[in-house]
Structure 1
Amino acid sequence: MAPVGMKRPNRPLLNVTLDLSQVLEDQAYVGFTSSTGTLIQGHKILAWSFSNSNSSLSEALITTGLPSFELPETPIHKTIGFIAGLTVGILLFVFTACLFACLLIRRDRRLRREIEEMEDWELEYWPHRLAYQEIDSATNSFSDGNVIGIGGNGKVYIGKLPGGAEVAVKRISHETSEGIRGFLAEISSLGRLKHRNLVGLRGWCKKEKGSLILVYDYMENGSLDRWVFECDETKMLSFEDRIRILKQVASGVFYLHDGWESKVLHRDIKASNVLLDKDMNARLGDFGLARMHDQDKVTGTTRVVGTVGYMAPETVKSGRTSTQTDVFGYGVLILEVICGREFGRVQN
């Protein structure tokens, strides 16, 4: 026997001659066996040879480059490789933590700067705000091909959100007091109301001080006036459909007046503000002139708002509005829809 890496000694440590010719048969197997004591031991044979005729066979054994099972003299945590790897890991962790902290600080500063630049009304209605990038992508960067209507305060675009839902996007100019007043009226009233006969307001967006955006549920069949006044006979609504639509508008108006915690006055009920969804169900929209008041109170204002022909006489005279003045406008709508004639337009 010899330690690993050394040649077999010329003089064996143990040498005994045994005659096994009477024991072994023509074929036999040579193997090893070992045993352990009370402690755990390991027995490993790295190289061996056996021959019953060639005693020099052991000289050809490879005894160098064999694996070593001896414990290292230096512990692993004290080796150069371990120390170098641990140092690099700590430096990388510190760098990553510093980078993450810098990003958080920049984000916090940006949010503070945006809040400082916000107007008071933005903080009040912040939960309904949508990302401008989402609206811009939905309308193909407000392409002219997506325009479906033009109002007094801006254009209306059709858009498709990432989930596939179609929406109507109204872009309002912030440069005029009328635009900002209508915008705030919409998000303060319609943004809080939920009824099957009211147009759903999904949210609002503001890119800059000169651009305000409102996002509504898209009404596939447009406004009611397109189906009542000067339309093809094939598209003309039947009398039954007109009555059904008027009942739905009445349900929406009743909810505004008595179905919510505050009284909401629409102040501009007319055919062009009644929208029809894909199933031809009516939804009252355009709350740009709406105002909220406590129940059983009449507004006191000298500013006359509304559409000529739909305003009650007391509104024209004093500017005061109430639930009764909304009902007056609804009555004009009934006459128009039933007769098929628009107010103020002469027909032969």
Structure 2
Amino acid sequence: MSDPRARNGRPTSRDVAQDAGVSQSTVSLVLGGKWHGRVSPATARAVQETADRLGYRPNAAARNLRLGTTRTVLLVVPTLTAPFFGSVYIGAARVAARHGFGIVVYPPDDARPAGPAGNPAGSPFAVPHEAIDGIIASSMTQQALSGFGGTPVVMLDSGPAAAAPTVDFAVEDGMRAVVAHLAALGHRRFGHVAVDLDEWTFQARGEAVADAVAALPGGVLDRAAGSIDVTSAKEAAGRLLDRPVPPTALICDDDLMAAGAYKAARARGLDVPGDLSVTGFDDVQVAVAIEPELTTVRLPARELGEQGMSALLDLLEGGRPETRPLPVELVVRASTAPPSTAPPRT
């Protein structure tokens, strides 16, 4: 029999059926893994061998259309400039691939596409529910996803009050550990270089810092906000360092912001950590790329992505994913030291 690839350039299920001497429905059962008890093992083997010989591969798009699924998940992140979200994607993509799903990454704050009126995030799809099966949204608000209708959603690092299944970090524990570490070194004047986004994770960090410093005898906290960007963070840190009585330690909401704080300190002739201690948050690659290496809070970003994708798969199968915080870890490196003139201990 002639090779069907010579006729149309690409073998079809009809070609496989003709060469194997079976019906197209039998081919679908065998290649879909649903032949047991319905097709003999010998026939199943013949169909599989014929498909392999012809180089036939099922049309996944057509199959998904029949099943009413796209096997595609949208990962919504605030920005692509922060390395943290790359690790979230890697974790989610690994779990997705094991279950035959693909992931599309969408950063509304970077792309800012046009969307329906009153929809801050917009949508990369004209009809979201026809293009994706579900959404994983990292460090976002539920309101920001209003343009996606009733698409199943799992929120990451977005707070226990989110109106959807959530996977969160114990960020408050991380900030409390930072303040405790600096206080043990003798610091009492703190500056908080904060992210200027109205999101739960950054609100929780700020509240934890404020509460921890307020609990210290003689503790003083000042705050300046900026974006997750070295230049913006340098400006925010500079405003704190230019105060009449500047802080002896800067607590940054993000490692990139800590790099900006380093630049602000050096622009003023300050040594890190001799004159100024600096801490970050996330423990991404920049934490060990800058000198001195950064004391920071390690967030298991890949695990966040993995847990988020697993929760979404559970949700898509009709389950009720449990909400639980992922533990964080303070990593002490060389960017923190006792203040040059430590206040008396109480």
One fold, TM greater than 0.5?
Answer: no
Q: TM-score normalised by the shorter chain: which range applies?
A: under 0.3
**TM, length-normalised to structure 1:** 0.20
**TM, length-normalised to structure 2:** 0.20
Q: Which has the higher helix share?
A: 2
The structure whose RCO (Cα within 8 Å, separation 6+) is larger is 2
